Structure 1
Amino acid sequence: MRSARPNVGLTLAVNDSDQVRDLVSGAVPVQGADLTCLLMEVEEIFFRFTKFREWDVSEMSFGKFCSLRGRGDDSLIGIPVFLSRSFRHSGMFVRHDGPVDRPDQLAGKRIGIPEWTVTATVYQRALLQHQYGLELEDITWVQGGINEPGRVETLPTGLPDGVTVTPERTRSLNQLMLDGDLDAMLVPHPPAAFEDHSGRIVQLFSDSRSTEQAFFHETGIFPIMHLVVVQERVHRAHPWLAANLVTAFTEAKDRSVRRLLSPTAPQFPLPWGAEHARDAERIIGRDMWPYGLEPNRTTIAAFLRFTFEQGLTPRELSPEELFPESVHSSHVI
């Protein structure tokens, strides 16, 4: 039976990924809502939504959201849908003659970051601090664009005592590395001099996959990069919407995972794709890309500790503070 009442019209901006494919196409509906979907690169989504709030529901940087929430900005409501996750040892780079596999040798060095609040760099700084014993205040931090100069901090942010960040506007981090003016960079996107296979810039960890798997086995942390947020005015007008969005996003993601695991007629142009997916399932667990608060509590709590330690939030938030109570748990049949 179809309701005679019209659905709520919503605009949604997300990156174009397989886990949202069935939501964007309408194959998986959001009960009670009609979506107008905008597919864009995440950098554009984050910049425009953080600055201008042009749509109702958005993919968003986990770090930027926590920074806003920690400073008392309740204009956005998080839902525990995590569209992007990535282990970030593989996003730490040095020159070819740098301290490969020796992260402790970065103490006292100059390290580049795109922004202090970029989620990947929060995890990477925490790795240097907690896994390898570096003190953040002993590093000279340089902020700038990865491959193009001129990037600025999207949000104002605090810094821990003793930590300074120097903005660089005339050269990219990639160029600074090649010029010998940076010793390392922590980034979500590889620098051009790594992607060109010239060997001038290399990963800090020569076997980053094994390093990342060992980190997961030790800590249980599967780093969350992006979540979905709803404008508070929309949530206030339609408090039922958050749980319905979680349900729809979860069904779309589950369909994507089933496609990934199916060997019958591969839907991704990756040799041995299903076997790779089974390997990930054995390492991470049967739900290898979990949504929801409880399955992700270890990762969320760790990240909130990191954001407090690094000055993104003035106090350590609890995981429950990020999401409305209606999505803290779900019904079980």
Structure 2
Amino acid sequence: MDGTASVHLTLAVCDYEHVREIAQGLVRADGITLTPLIFPSIEEITFRFTKSLEWDVSELSFGKYISLASQGSAPMVAIPVFPSRVHRHSAIYVRGDRGIRTANDLEGRAVGIPEWAQTAGIYVRGFLAEEAGVDLTKIRWLQAGVNEPGRAEKVELKLPAGIRYEPRPDTSLSAMLASGEVDAVISARAPTAFAPGGPVVRLYPNYRAEEERFFRKTGIFPIMHLMTMRRTVFEQHPWIAMNLFKMFEEAKRRCFNRLRDFTCARIPLPWAAAIADEIAAGYGPDPYPYGIEESRPTIEAFCRYAHDQGVTHRRMAVDDLFPPEVRATARV
């Protein structure tokens, strides 16, 4: 970039190791001056950004973004930077006294969800339907806050025929799970009713093995959140999208270099460097890819899941989600 004045942007993102150097100002984007706002969890970021667009660049739930984009009402533009990717077979909590041993045992049951459009739930229902053959219309879905009452959907849904969905603002998923009003909960955040020695257990106790099997079969590494920016900012300065992408890539590269450093303990876990190499052996040289082509199977599956479940109002294609400026990167 030349010596012209930089564009000042505010950035809201969770506290991740792979964005740490951005927050510290050690990794910068050309032509951009950032004021980073670091949050402990995604819920507040998503609530405030979808409601009021309080900052220029924001981490956002993939489920919320794809729903808004499908309605033609998204006041934000996405960048293919995915700060949170998490396999979600671990996110199904069941009462151990209800005879639920397999995914198909969820049929005929009451299942709690924090939001129908929560990204984790979209993936879980997707693999339940496609991989396990679960009929989602045979489940009674109760929507409530995970550990507090009053949570509501943040986007307009277009639920398929046959889906039985009931908001319960008066209670929480944890309370309903503890009382037995629901038989299971699907949630990214663990309900407080899930405690050692208690009646609530995971449907997949050995969830890592299930997730590894799922990844080997499908190539899907679930994207939970992506980075977005206010549409008005992007339209005024379209070049900032790729510059931000490059900034996040560099911060992630430095993070993996730290994780693979045997010189000292960069994170307080034994064999962290060996674990990083082990994961890279299964996932490739970049086990946590940004960019569209690197994640196309995952994004295509999410578009399909979201449409089939009525989170989106029309079937979205991968390229519908990102502007042309970030659909490819320069190679040397």
TM-score by length of 1: 0.97
Name 2:53's counterpart in structure 1: 53
Q: In 2, Cα distance between the equivalents of 1:265 and 1:81? A: 29
Q: In 2, Cα distance between the equivalents of 1:91 and 1:190? A: 7
In terms of mean alpha carbon deviation, does 156-165 or 85-94 score higher? 156-165
Give the drift of 1:282: 1.7
Name 2:104's counterpart in structure 1: 104
Work out whether 1:261 is the aligned partner of 2:260.
Answer: yes
Give the drift of 1:271: 1.9
User: Is the 1:100–1:203 contact (alpha carbons within 8 Å) kept by the matching residues of 2?
Assistant: no
User: Is the 1:70–1:313 contact (alpha carbons within 8 Å) kept by the matching residues of 2?
Assistant: yes
For 1:1-40, list aligned pairs within 5 A: 3-40=2-39
User: Is the 1:99–1:106 contact (alpha carbons within 8 Å) kept by the matching residues of 2?
Assistant: no
Q: In 1, Cα distance between the equivalents of 2:305 and 2:212? A: 20
Work out whether 1:244 is the aligned partner of 2:243.
Answer: yes
Name 2:327's counterpart in structure 1: 328
Give the drift of 1:73: 1.5
Name 1:286's counterpart in structure 2: 285
Q: What secondary structure does 1:170 align onto?
A: strand
| Code of the aligned partner of 1:129 | A
User: Is the 1:177–1:184 contact (alpha carbons within 8 Å) kept by the matching residues of 2?
Assistant: yes
User: Is the 2:89–2:204 contact (alpha carbons within 8 Å) kept by the matching residues of 1?
Assistant: yes
Name 1:165's counterpart in structure 2: 165
Name 1:300's counterpart in structure 2: 299
Give the drift of 1:158: 1.4
Give the drift of 1:99: 4.2
Q: In 2, Cα distance between the equivalents of 1:98 and 1:293? A: 42
| Deviations 1:284-312, CA, capped at 9 Å, x for gaps | 12110000000000000000000100011
Q: CA RMSD in A?
A: 1.2
Give the drift of 1:101: 4.2
Name 2:308's counterpart in structure 1: 309
User: Is the 2:65–2:74 contact (alpha carbons within 8 Å) kept by the matching residues of 1?
Assistant: no
User: Is the 2:111–2:186 contact (alpha carbons within 8 Å) kept by the matching residues of 1?
Assistant: yes
| Code of the aligned partner of 1:8 | V
| Code of the aligned partner of 1:61 | S
| Code of the aligned partner of 2:228 | V
For 1:113-262, list aligned pairs within 5 A: 113-194=113-194, 196-262=195-261
Give the drift of 1:100: 5.2
Unaligned runs of 5+ in 1: none
User: Is the 1:100–1:205 contact (alpha carbons within 8 Å) kept by the matching residues of 2?
Assistant: no
Unaligned runs of 5+ in 2: none
Q: In 1, Cα distance between the equivalents of 2:32 and 2:197? A: 49
User: Is the 1:95–1:201 contact (alpha carbons within 8 Å) kept by the matching residues of 2?
Assistant: yes
| Deviations 1:69-123, CA, capped at 9 Å, x for gaps | 0011142111100000000000101012244541111111100000011000000
| Deviations 1:252-295, CA, capped at 9 Å, x for gaps | 01111111122221211112212222221122121100000000
Q: In 2, Cα distance between the equivalents of 1:328 and 1:276? A: 31
User: Is the 1:99–1:204 contact (alpha carbons within 8 Å) kept by the matching residues of 2?
Assistant: no
User: Is the 2:177–2:193 contact (alpha carbons within 8 Å) kept by the matching residues of 1?
Assistant: no
Equivalent pairs, count = 331
| Code of the aligned partner of 1:78 | A
Q: In 2, Cα distance between the equivalents of 1:80 and 1:98? A: 41
User: Is the 1:144–1:150 contact (alpha carbons within 8 Å) kept by the matching residues of 2?
Assistant: yes
| Deviations 1:192-233, CA, capped at 9 Å, x for gaps | 122x32332111012100000000000000000000001111
Give the drift of 1:314: 2.1
Identity %: 43
Q: In 1, Cα distance between the equivalents of 2:315 and 2:98? A: 35
